[in-house]
Amino acid sequence: MAIGIQVTMDAADPGKLAEFWAQALGYVVQPPPPGFESWEDFAVKNNIPFESVNDYSAIVDPEGKGPRFFFQRVPEGKTAKNRVHLDVNAGLGAVERLVALGATKVEEFDDGKGHWVTMLDPEGNEFCVQ
C-alpha cells in the first residue's frame, strides 16, 4: 500500500502562492475547520496574532485524490534552483493560462521524446508543463 504525501513549499506569501497553485492545479484553498467561517475567524478565536495569519496556507484536491499542498512562510528568499520540481500534465495549451495567473515562461523544449515548457511560479519556483 502506498503512503500518502503532502507537498510543502517555502514561501514569502503563503496565501498568494496557495491561490496561484490552486488555480493552476484545479485545487481549492483548504477550508477552515468545522465551526469556523474563515481562517481569520479561526485565528481570532485561537489568539493567533494578526501578523501571523498568513504564515501558512494549504490547498487540497476537491476530489480527494491528489496530495495536499502546504505553503509556509520562511524569512529567506529563494536563492538556488529547486532540487525537486512539479511536472504539471495540463498540456501546452495551459502555458498562457498559467502566465495570466502570474507564472513566467522560461524555455520550451522538444527532444524528440517529449515536448515541455519550463516555467516559474510567482515566487520563482521551477515547474514544467507538458
Coil, helix or strand for 10? strand
pLDDT tens track, the chain, 130 positions = 889 999 999 999 999 999 999 999 999 999 999 999 988 889 889 988 878 888 999 999 999 999 999 999 999 988 888 889 999 999 989 999 999 999 999 999 999 888 999 999 999 999 999 9
Q: How, if at all, do strands 68-73 and 56-60 pair?
A: antiparallel
For the chain, domains (ranges, CATH) are 1-77 (3.30.720.120), 79-130 (3.10.180.10)
CA distances to 31, 57, 67 from 3, rounded to whole Å, are 24, 23, 11
Burial class (CB in 10 A: 0-12, 13-18, 19+), 51: exposed
DSSP string, 48-63: --GGGGGGEEEEE-TT
pLDDT of residue 92: 86
The burial class, CB within 10 Å (0-12 / 13-18 / 19+), for 89 is: exposed
- Only one residue has cell 524528440, namely 112
